[in-house]
Structure 1
C-alpha cells in the first residue's frame, strides 16, 4: 500500500528537512574525517549545559517515589505547573495571568500544532513574516491551512504594511518569532505596536480578529541590552507559544506550553480547544517528570555570554572572509548572504561549502532565497577552527 502522495512529494523535495539532513550528514563526515575537521553550523542544538538549578530539580523530582508519580494528570498539565508558567509569563508580558490561561505542551512544536488544530478551518490562512522557521509550513498544512509568507523589511523587521495587505477574511492568525530563527532579529516595540494596530483595524473591519501567535523559545537569549517587547498589553487576542528547549538547554525533553492573553474575548473556548487538541492529536499530556522540573526551575539563572562571545567570533571570521551577514540581536543564528556569483542559489552555495567541511542551512527552506543560516550554538573550538576553511572557500571563488 503506497504512502500518502503529499508526504512522499514533500519528503522528496530537496529543501524538505534540509536542516536535519545537514546535521545527519555532519555526523557521517565527523566519523570519516574527525570531529575537529568538520565545522557543523547546521542545527540549533544548544551546547550549553542546563543550569545547576535545573539539574538539581531533575535529581529531586526523579528521586520522588510518591504513588502514581508517573501517572496521568489532566490533559492541560499539573495545576502547580500551569500556575508556575502563568507566573513566568506574567513577568514577561507585564499583565496578571492565572494558571487557567496555560496548557502544558510537548515542546513549542507540539504547542503550535495544538493551537493550529484548535483555530484553523479548512482553507484558513496563517500569515508569517519571511524568513521564518521552516517547519511552520508543515504545521499549518497539517490542518488544511495555508501559510502566507510575507517578505520582511530590508532589515528583517516586520513589514506591517505588507502584512496589512495580506490580511483577509480567511486569516486565522499572524505568527511571529522573536528573537527570530533564522535571522536573530528582535522585533522592536514600535514594530509590535504597529502590527497590533493593523490587526485591530482588520478585525474591526472584517469581523474576524486574527490571533497574534508569539513563538518565543528564544525570548531570554538576547544581546547588547536588547529587550523583547510584550504584546499582551497591546492586543487582547494574543497567545504565547514557547518551550524550554533553548533557554535552559533541554531540547530533547520536549516541554513547553501555550498561554493565552487573559483579556482574550474567547479565552475559555480557546483554552478548552487546545486542551482537547492536545488529547486528540495523541500527545495526551506534556511529560510528567519535566512538568515538575520546570515548575521548580523555570527561573534558573542563565549566562548567555558564551553565545554572545561566539557570535562576535563568528562575525569576525565572516567579515575577514568577505561573507555579508546580519548582526544577531538574539537567539544563536547568523543570517548570511550567499556570494553574488551564485545568483541567489543558496542551495548551491551550501553544497559548495561542504567541500570545505562547512555545514550551513540553505535560506530557501526558511523562505529566504539567496541567504543561508549558521547556528553558532557550537563549541568555540569549532568556530575558531573554521576560520581557515571560510577564508579558503571565499578565496577560491576569486
Structure 2
C-alpha cells in the first residue's frame, strides 16, 4: 500500500497505570537521571538534558539532495520547514556534511524571522575544506578546526549561536577531552549552547560528560535497528542525557514505501545496505507487515506507529524523521498523538522479538565510523 494513500488520522488512548515494579525501579534512578524526564516539559514537548524541544523534530538532511539523488525545490523546502514550525515543531536537525554546507543554508533561510523560537542542532566532524566544501578523507575534530567550522555554520544558519552542536563521528586521532574542551570554550563565548555526540563509543561519552555535561546522543535507532538499547540508552538514562534517533523510519523502509521489488537508483546509499539486498529484503519486510497490522489497529499509518513506538520507549527520546514532502512531514508529526498502553507495548515487543533482521544497517566503510572510542589524552 502506498504511503500517501494510508489513513492519516490518529487515536489517543489512555495509558494504563504503572506497575508496582516500575515504580520501584523509578525510585532507584539517580538524581542526575531524574532530570532526564519530560515531567517538567511543556505539553507536546520533551527534554534533552535540560533543553526543551518538540516531541518530534524535523531532519533536513535531504533537502539539498534526496536519497534518489534528485534536487528538491528550495522554496518548497522552506515551506515545509515553516509549516512544521507552525504545527509545533521546534527542533530542526542539520550538519555541515549535508550538501556539504547547503542544507545549513536552506535551514537558515527558512528560519528567518522565527530563529529565536526554534532549536537548531547541527554537526561537525568530517574532514571538509571550509573554503571549498570539498570532502577530504577521514575525520577532523582538531579544536582549531572545530572553531573554524562553527564560524561558517553561524553564517550559513544566519544566527549568532547553535543551540545543540554534535560531533558527527568520534575522531580516532583526537582525545575527546580536547573536543569537549573546544566546545566548552565556544559555550563560554555564547556561540554554542549545548553539545552532543553522534554514534560514539560509551567510554567516550563518559569522558566527554566529565568535561562538560553532554545534552544528547544522536544514533540510528528504529524498529529495524535497535542497537542503542544494549548500552547507549541505559548510559543516557544513567547520566541524564537525551537521545535523538536518526533514521527513525529506517530510511523510509518502515513507511511501507519499499517492497521486495524495490531497486535503488545509482548513488542511493540504501542500495549499498545489505539489509535491503534482494536476499535479505523479503525476510526484513516481516517488520513492515507487523507495523502495518498495528497501524490498522491504531487507526494510524505505519510511519506514525514506528515513530510512536520510539516515543513510548523513553520520555527523553526525540526522533527527527526527515522528508522532502509536505504530506509526509504532516503525517510524521501526527505520530505524537498515537499512544500505546503498557499491555500493547508488551504485545508489540513480543511480536517484534520473533523477527530477526538480516543484513547490515550501513555499508562497512561507513559502519567503521560508529561506536569509536577516542584516544586517551596523554
Smaller-chain TM-score bracket: 0.3 to 0.5
Structure of larger gyration radius: 1
Tell me the TM-score normalised to structure 1 length.
0.31
Tell me the TM-score normalised to structure 2 length.
0.33
